Structure 1
Amino acid sequence: MIIEILLDVVLPIFVLIGIGAVMHRIFRLDLYTLAKINFYYITPAVVFLSMYQSEMSAELLGSVTLFYVLYIALLYGVSSLVSRRMKFSQGMKAAFTNSLLLDNSGNYGLPVNQLAFKGDPMAMSLQALIMTFQSLVTFTYGVMSIQKAKNGGSLKAALTGFLKMPVPYALVLGLVFHVLKMPLPNFVSKPLGYMADSMVSIALLTLGAQIIKYPLRLDRLDVYISVLLRLLIGPVVGFTLIMVLGMRGIPAQALLIASGMPTGVNSTILAEEYNNEPDFASQTVLISTLLNIVTITALISIAKHLL
């Protein structure tokens, strides 16, 4: 089972990440353009189709929302305790918390989900929903925490940033079209399908190019603590909530796997944008992504067997 997961899910993902890293080394890819292609072109198509083809009931939607709210709240509590214990500065506390809360549910989580569940519509819908929630956290709490640490945060500015993103609108439109059972004309459905089909290769190539940008360092205890909490405690919290909420089957499996994603590149982007612990942020992204080879393999195996 583990060998099968490694060969069918994990290895293909890291081959594509590796190709992205090599290509960036050779050609110095334009990361800004790649990020825009993922963010404004591919991801909205994936989210719209996932919601449009969703088999998620209103009850399941509520359960997933409750799961995510509790999951983020508990991780925030863990982060606050560790930050206080480690006597982090205000800026370091913001960067540390972001490294736990802002995971890579988009250009890593969506491909993992698609390969692990072989494109199951229910699983993809759940991951798309988690990714949207993650975007909300990123552009509200994630931005405001760093702004506050640096020069005072603005809720209005953070919400404006969130409302400029295409993903929430794609999600809402997909749900509306799904609920109303509105058929998509061929000239719309075909392009959306082609755009969504490119997601795995382009998203992972982009991720490889992004993480190779930062040199690997192995001398920071705070990075290891963050990675430990992100890759091990995150799934423990996720598994506990799944049990408490009584979830089973594909929803439970998808949520457990989603709870074990590595730290998201957005944490580094925010750290660089506001010059707030960029080295720490980049190291957590790089090391957590590399170690996720082991942890995501174990998580997928546990999900398939126990849930």
Structure 2
Amino acid sequence: MIGEILLQVVLPVFILIGAGSLLQRLFRLDLYTLAKINFYYITPAAVFMSMYQSEMSYSLLGMVVGFYAIYIMILYLLSFTLTRALKFKPGMRAAFTNSVMLDNSGNYGMPVNSLAFHGNPLAASLQSLIMTLQALLTFTYGVMSIQRAKLKGNYRVVIIGFLKMPVPYALVFGLLLHAWSVPLPAFLLQPLTYAQQSMVALALFTLGAQIMKYPIRLDRAEIYLSLVLRLLAAPLIGVVIVLALGIKGIPAQALMIASGMPTGVNASLLAEEYNNEPDFAAQTVLISTLVNVLTITGLIMLARWIV
């Protein structure tokens, strides 16, 4: 089973990430443009199509939201307790907590889900919902935690930033059209399908190009503490919650795997935007993504074995 997961899921992911890293090193790609294409077209299209073609019931949707709320609350309490026990400064507390709570459920989690479940619509819908909830968390708690640490207090930017995000709108429209069984004309369905099919390659390529910005540094203990919580504690928490809620089948496997994603690029982007421990945030993104080749393999095995 290990060989199958490595060859069919993990290796394709890291080949695409490696291609992005290589081309970024050779040609200095325009990362701003790549990020915008992913954020404003590819990802919303993939989310819309996942919801539109979804096989998820509304009771399952509510269960996923409940799972995620419990999952995030436990991670927050762990981070809160650890950062205060170690007497981190306010800025470092915010950066550390974001590195644990803000994972890469989008341009890493969506492709992993697609490869692990061979494009299963139900699994894709669950990951899309998790990604949207993660985006909501990023532009509410993620921003406010740093603003509180930096004493800027301009919370209006949180609301404006969230309203500008296309993913939540794509999710809502996809769910509504699915619920009302609205047929899409071919001139809309075809480009959305093309965008959805390109999501895996382009998202991972972009991630590979982005992480080349950050040189590896292994001399900060806080990074290893973040890795332990993000890559070991978080998936363990996810597995326990799934079992406690009695979730079965593909939803159980998808939620378990979704809980084991590395630190998201957004944690680094927020740190850079507000000049709040940007080096630490960048390192957690880079190193957790590299180490995840091991942890996600084990987690996929565990999910398939348990469920």
The 2-side partners of 1:153 and 1:291 are apart by 35
Q: Which amino acid aligns with 2:137?
A: V
Q: Please say if 1:89 is aligned against 2:89.
A: yes
Letter in 1 for 2:65: T
User: In the alignment, what sits opposite 2:100?
Assistant: 100
CA distance, structure 2, for counterparts of residue 144 and residue 17 of structure 1: 31
Correspondence for 2:271: 271
CA distance in 2, matches of 1:151, 1:31: 30
Report the TM-score when normalising by structure 2. 0.99
For structure 2, the 5+ residue unaligned runs are none
Q: Distance in 2 between matches of 1:96 and 1:43?
A: 27
User: TM-score, normalization: structure 1?
Assistant: 0.99
Secondary structure of the residue aligned to 1:198 is helix
What is the rounded CA distance, in whole Å, between the counterparts of 2:154 and 2:213 in structure 1?
A: 30
Structure 2 CA distance for aligned equivalents of residues 174 and 157 of structure 1: 27
Q: CA deviation at 1:170?
A: 0.3
Deviation sequence 1:202-251 (CA, Å, 0-9, x none): 10010001111100011110000001110000011101110111101000
Tell me which residue corresponds to 1:173: 173
What is the deviation of 1:157?
2.0
Counterpart position of 2:262: 262
SS of residue in 1 equivalent to 2:246:
coil
Q: Is the 8 A contact 1:146 1:153 kept in 2?
A: no
Partner of 1:213: 213
| Superposed CA offset, 1:23-57 (max 9, x none) | 00010011110000000010000000000000111
CA separation in 2, counterparts of 1:114 and 1:155?
A: 36
Mapping of 1:295-306 within 5 angstroms? Answer: 295-306=295-306
Q: Which residue of 1 aligns with 2:231?
A: 231
Q: Equivalent residue of 1:24, what SS?
A: helix
Cα distance in 1 for residues equivalent to 2:299 and 2:103: 16
Distance 1:16 1:60 in 2: 32
What amino acid sits opposite 1:147 in the alignment?
Answer: Q
Give the conservation status (yes or no) of the 8 Å contact 1:145–1:153: no
Contact kept, 8 Å, 1:103 with 1:263, in 2: the verdict is yes
Identity %: 65
Alpha-carbon distance between aligned partners in 2 of 1:82 and 1:3, rounded to the nearest angstrom: 36
The worse-fitting range, judged by mean Cα deviation, of 141-150 and 117-126 is 141-150
Deviations 1:252-290 (A, max 9, x none): 000000000000000000000000000100010011000
Aligned partner of residue 137 in structure 2, secondary structure: helix
Superposed, 1:119-198 pairs within 5 Å as 119-198=119-198
The amino acid that maps onto 2:303 is A
**Counterpart in the other structure of 2:24:** 24
What amino acid maps onto 2:244 in structure 1?
Answer: V
Q: Distance in 2 between matches of 1:153 and 1:267?
A: 19
In the alignment, structure 1 residue 70 sits paired with structure 2 residue 31: no
**Equivalent residue, structure 2, for 1:36:** 36
Deviation of 1:152 (Å): 3.3
Superposed displacement of residue 67, structure 1: 0.3
Distance 2:213 2:252 in 1: 35
In structure 1, distance between residues paired with 2:306 and 2:186 = 41
Cα offsets for 1:142-195 (capped at 9, x unmatched): 011111111233443212211110000000000000000000000000000001
Q: Give, in whole Å, the separation in 1 of the partners of 2:119 and 2:269.
A: 29
Query: Match of 2:242?
Result: 242
User: In structure 2, the residue corresponding to 1:158 is in which secondary structure?
Assistant: helix
Secondary structure of the structure 2 residue equivalent to 1:25: helix
Contact residue 20 and residue 206 of structure 1 kept, 8 A: yes
Contact 1:42 1:198 in 2 (8 A): yes
TM-aligned CA distance change 1:154 to 1:246, over 3 Å: farther
